Amino acid sequence: MKNAEQIFQAIANEVGVSPRTVKRTLAQPRKDTRPTYVERAKRIRSLAEAHGYRPNAAARAVRMGRFGQVAMLTRHDVSFQQFNLNKGVCTELAAHDLHMILAEIRPGDLAKPETSPRLLRELCVDGLIVHFAQKISPATLEAVSYSGVPLVWTNLDQATDSVCTDDAQGVRLATETLLEIGHRRIGLLAGPHAKEEFAHYSVRDRREGYLQAMQQAGLSPNIKEFKDDSGYAEGLSRAIDLLDSEPHITAWICDSDVGGGAILMAALAKGLKVPRDLSVIMFHNLSPNGSMGLPISAMALPMQKVGAEAARMLLRKIANPQEPQPCCKVPFSAPPVIRTIGPPRQNK
């Protein structure tokens, strides 16, 4: 492998200019439009390619103090919703010619310098997007801030420097969609109401948004809790009990795909046709198309949009590190009618 100086020298000899001119020609976008200059630039470029010259991004980073890359830090056990988040961040950064480093870590590893990721200990990124999908512990906060670069949180309901989904709007939209097609008795299958301090904001926001929407429509709310960690068989039997105990409900809004799946299977087991006899809509991490080819009407978490917004916010913070950015809440899109939601039965 020839080094850069040798390559420049060789090209300079062939073209008949100094090595510095060769370098400058390669670095600068063509401004001069005179034919002789353009012709020479073309020749230099093709020669450089022939010699296998590639600009060294690290050298530029040293000189400029900018690395041209950003890291996204996530928990190792984070769910598939991150897939679309990655996509959003990656695409938005690529539009600005920035690279995305993806780092998955165990939160406990942040404490010790030996196990914390190198990108927190060394200067190598221009900014950081942190996706922990949980309340942040003080130790985590300190470890992550240690890097000293601009930082944006995702999936966290903070006043500043964070991007998250607008779950209150999402559940209002779901409720309104059901109201519009004629439902009046709409139930919410809520996520577990954990202790306030540990609960994820989305569980709380979805409850509140539902209550608001129902109150605004002058209807009485009906909230049932569903724990989604007790296995299929138990979940299914509890869902069947639920449908039995609340026969007047014509539509269920489900906080998770697990609860939604249980309701769907329970309906199937009870001989109810979906959506003819019962409408079901669920907040879902994956795609609006569900999985295994099953059709579902889902409030798809707009994670790709969250990622794109986080990247944009980070770019603003890099340009202006001191200024706090107001929290960005990304709205949900309306769910597809037809699949598992439809008008209520008239005779109910």
To its own copies, the closest distance from the beta carbon of 189 in angstroms equals 12
What does 212 bind: its own copies, DNA, none (CB cut-off 5 to 8 Å by kind)?
none
Answer for the pair 92, 37: CB distance below 8 angstroms, yes or no.
Answer: no
What does 135 bind: its own copies, DNA, none (CB cut-off 5 to 8 Å by kind)?
none
Q: Any contact of residue 37 with DNA (CB under 7 A)?
A: yes
* Residue 201 phi, psi dihedral angles, 5° rounding: -55, -30
To DNA, the closest distance from the beta carbon of 323 in angstroms equals 24
Answer for the pair 99, 71: CB distance below 8 angstroms, yes or no.
Answer: no
* Residue range at the interface with its own copies (CB under 8 A); choices 79-87, 150-158, 211-219, 244-252: 79-87
Answer for which of 10, 47, 71, 314 binds its own copies (CB under 8 A) is 71
Q: Is 52 exposed, middle or buried (0-12, 13-18, 19+ CB in 10 A)?
A: exposed
Q: Which is nearer to DNA, 45 or 87 (CB)?
A: 45
* Residue range at the interface with its own copies (CB under 8 A); choices 95-103, 161-169, 170-178, 182-190: 95-103
- 73-132 binders of DNA (CB under 7 A): 123
What's the CA gap between 241 and 243, in Å, rounded?
A: 6
- Cβ-based neighbours of 244, under 8 Å, separated by 6 or more: 270
Residue found by looking up tokens 């997007």 in the block: 129
To DNA, the closest distance from the beta carbon of 320 in angstroms equals 19
* Residue range at the interface with its own copies (CB under 8 A); choices 49-57, 132-140, 167-175, 305-313: 49-57
Q: Which is nearer to its own copies, 3 or 347 (CB)?
A: 3
To its own copies, the closest distance from the beta carbon of 41 in angstroms equals 14
Q: Any contact of residue 59 with DNA (CB under 7 A)?
A: yes
- Assign 325 to helix, strand or coil: coil
- Cβ-based neighbours of 326, under 8 Å, separated by 6 or more: 159, 160
Residue found by looking up tokens 């798809």 in the block: 300
Answer for which of 9, 15, 19, 104 binds its own copies (CB under 8 A) is 104
- Assign 160 to helix, strand or coil: strand
Q: Indicate the helix (H) or strand (E) that contains 297.
A: strand 297-300
* Residue range at the interface with its own copies (CB under 8 A); choices 9-17, 61-69, 199-207, 328-336: 61-69
Query: Which tokens in the block code for residue 284?
Result: 């879902």
Query: Which tokens in the block code for residue 304?
Result: 């790709």
What separation in angstroms does the CA of 58 have from each of 50, 62, 324? Answer: 22, 6, 29
To its own copies, the closest distance from the beta carbon of 240 in angstroms equals 14
What's the CA gap between 232 and 228, in Å, rounded?
A: 9
Answer for which of 13, 14, 32, 38 binds DNA (CB under 7 A) is 32
- How many residues bind its own copies (CB under 8 A)? The answer is 60
Residue of 86, 98, 145, 99 lying closest to 120 (CA atoms): 145
List interacting residues with DNA (CB under 7 A).
Answer: 3-5, 17-21, 23-24, 27, 31-32, 37, 54-56, 59-60, 62-64, 123
List interacting residues with its own copies (CB under 8 A).
Answer: 52, 54-59, 61-62, 67-69, 71, 76, 80, 82-83, 86-87, 90-91, 94, 97, 99-105, 117-119, 121-124, 147-148, 228, 232, 235, 257-262, 264-265, 268, 282, 286, 290-296
